[in-house]
Structure 1
Amino acid sequence: MPDDSRVRLGIQVQPQHAHYPAIRDTVLRLEDLGVDIVFNWDHFFPLSGDREGLHFEAWTMLGAWAEQTERVEFGTLVSCNSYRNADLQADMARTLDHISAKDGVGRFIFGTGSGWFERDYDEYGYEFGTPGTRLNALAKALPRVEARWAKLNPAPTRKIPVMIGGKGEQKTLKIVARHADIWHSFVSPDQLGHKLDVLKRWGDEVGRDVSEITVSNELTRRHVDLDYAEALYDAGVRLFTLGVSGPDYDLSAVPEWLAWRDAKNG
């Protein structure tokens, strides 16, 4: 991975246990603080705390974020490929790209993955299948997304960045090598070297220089662990993400992470 790429900080505003005004205000606070990217997630129920608690849908929310923000990039960390027709996803992404455009350039990041939370599938009537069938569906969907972007009128304002989440070596990293601009995972620093070697081998097979892919990973949520962040940085990570949950969306750690980001960027 390139050593000269800048460090970015993304905050995942998890749309659970809060009324929407709290989510909206948190996004505004994050933009004012200076984060690079604001994410939500693509689920239909809370993943922690009260599993029947307050929760909101991801993509409709992104349209509001596109209008209310001025600078930050934004997206879903990550969307579930199973929930939407691939061509529809491409059109939705292109529309968000245009809604968010400042000086003619959009700010949307298309995050996607194969899906994993079985309750979402069962309660909303999607076929859960197996990890293999869901990954196969993702591999078939991404060329359709890319082809639809090439046909849409108007076209996207830029090459919409594709972020793919997951760490599986047999299928996921091959999809990453072929399609991703950003690879996101929860891999520990001591495992990243091996995963990047696998990614490079897939890149060689599909004919792509994977050094152009940004490596993204999760920061610890319990406290500001700069040693852990430095280890991730040394392993090649350049996009660092941190999740915050409702109802209060505690952002007290964000300024320290931003100071660390700024120091890394010189």
Structure 2
Amino acid sequence: MRFGIKTRPEHTTWARMRDVWVAADDIELFESAWNWDHFYPLSGDLAGPNHEGWTMLAAMAQATRRIRIGCQVTGMIYRHPAVLANMAATVDIISGGRLDIGLGAGWNQQECDAYGIELPPLRERFDQFDEGVQVIIGLLSQETTTFAGDYFRLTDARCEPKPVQRPHPPIVIGGRGPKRTLRAVARWAQQWNAINLNQAEWRELKQTLHAHCAEVGRDPAEITCSVNVRMNSGVEQAAEDAAAWREAGADLVVLNLPHNAEPAVLEPLANALAPLA
């Protein structure tokens, strides 16, 4: 089993988050570090501070040297996918090829209402998401991309310079929808990330993913299956939860740190997780 960390950029400071990521960068057990793509906090005072995810990734790419970095996950509704592709290429270059591109359809009604961003009905949202993923992959991997969809249209579009990772940085699709999300994972992703599930629910969805892979001729072994464990009850409980996910068959556990976490928590956490690695 492999391990990552996630720091929620709500109710905290840039300096504290940077210090946690830099400390994780020095601990070999942690292979990746993640933030999220929201503009409002999701807990506590919803009018409180929350840092923007992608500008933070660019800074973290410069602050770290080894650990992989990503946003878990980027809401497709927030940015035109061609703009996001250019952002991703630049962050991958800054990091020296350490970016994972986390993508999701988006869901936060409060943020959309506040900013005047349209949040389409679910079916339309996933149609838009499918097109957006194809636009991003095309721009990052091809010299020029022409795409004629219902939501996005590109004509001989370029994204230069290209990212370090070829043909493109790994695509991480987050969600648990058995029809649309897992079908998109089977078609395009190198990692599937699932949250807020128990092991029985996750096993059932994993079987659904395998069925989608069979339909599109994809080897499911090519797809890393990751889950999140909230570290709300201490290091030992987090290790027990991770062990349960290892038994269930998850490849990667991302430890969701409290928003006030200090770098000092990482070494005892790594020691507790080491027997599972």
**So what's the TM-score if we normalise by structure 1?**
0.89
How many Å separate the matches in 1 of 2:251 and 2:20?
A: 24
Stretch deviating more after TM superposition (158-167 or 128-137): 128-137
Pairing of 1:222-261 with structure 2 (within 5 A): 222-223=233-234, 224-225=236-237, 226-246=239-259, 248-250=260-262, 254-261=266-273
* Identical residues among aligned pairs (%): 31
2:54 maps to 1:59: yes
Contact 2:6 2:256 in 1 (8 A): yes
* Equivalent residue number for residue 94 of structure 1: 89
Contact 2:230 2:257 in 1 (8 A): no
2:79 maps to 1:84: yes
- Residue 128 of structure 1: how far off its partner (Å): 1.2
* Equivalent residue number for residue 40 of structure 2: 45
* Equivalent residue number for residue 3 of structure 1: none
How many Å separate the matches in 1 of 2:27 and 2:48?
A: 28
* Equivalent residue number for residue 133 of structure 1: 124
Q: CA RMSD in A?
A: 1.7
After superposing on structure 2, the runs of 4+ consecutive aligned residues of structure 1 that deviate more than 6 Å are none
- Residue 69 of structure 1: how far off its partner (Å): 0.5
Alignment counterpart, residue 217 of structure 1, candidates 217, 227, 251? 227
Stretch deviating more after TM superposition (210-219 or 125-134): 125-134
Tell me the secondary structure at the aligned position of residue 176 of structure 2: coil
- Residue 261 of structure 1: how far off its partner (Å): 4.2
- Residue 254 of structure 1: how far off its partner (Å): 3.4
How many Å separate the matches in 2 of 1:61 and 1:153?
A: 21
* Equivalent residue number for residue 198 of structure 1: 208
* Equivalent residue number for residue 147 of structure 2: none
* Equivalent residue number for residue 193 of structure 2: 184
* Equivalent residue number for residue 4 of structure 1: none
- Residue 262 of structure 1: how far off its partner (Å): 3.1
The aligned amino acid for 2:51 is F
In the alignment, structure 1 segments of 5+ residues that lack a partner are 1-6
How many Å separate the matches in 1 of 2:174 and 2:108?
A: 14
Tell me the secondary structure at the aligned position of residue 237 of structure 1: coil
Greater RCO, CA 8 A, separation 6+:
1
* Equivalent residue number for residue 155 of structure 1: 162
Alignment counterpart, residue 102 of structure 2, candidates 105, 111, 122? 111
Contact 2:9 2:50 in 1 (8 A): yes
Tell me the secondary structure at the aligned position of residue 30 of structure 1: helix
* Equivalent residue number for residue 167 of structure 1: 176
Number of residues paired by the alignment?
A: 254
How many Å separate the matches in 2 of 1:42 and 1:161?
A: 18
- Residue 10 of structure 1: how far off its partner (Å): 1.5
* Equivalent residue number for residue 69 of structure 1: 64
- Residue 21 of structure 1: how far off its partner (Å): 1.8
In the alignment, structure 2 segments of 5+ residues that lack a partner are 144-158
How many Å separate the matches in 2 of 1:147 and 1:193?
A: 32
How many Å separate the matches in 2 of 1:227 and 1:244?
A: 15
- Residue 194 of structure 1: how far off its partner (Å): 1.1
How many Å separate the matches in 2 of 1:80 and 1:122?
A: 15
How many Å separate the matches in 2 of 1:25 and 1:184?
A: 25
Contact 1:80 1:115 in 2 (8 A): yes
Contact 2:19 2:263 in 1 (8 A): no
- Residue 250 of structure 1: how far off its partner (Å): 4.2
In structure 2, do the counterparts of structure 1 residues 25 and 220 end up closer, same or farther at CA, with 3 Å as the change threshold?
Answer: closer
- Residue 22 of structure 1: how far off its partner (Å): 1.9
How many Å separate the matches in 1 of 2:65 and 2:264?
A: 23
**So what's the TM-score if we normalise by structure 2?**
0.86
- Residue 251 of structure 1: how far off its partner (Å): 5.3
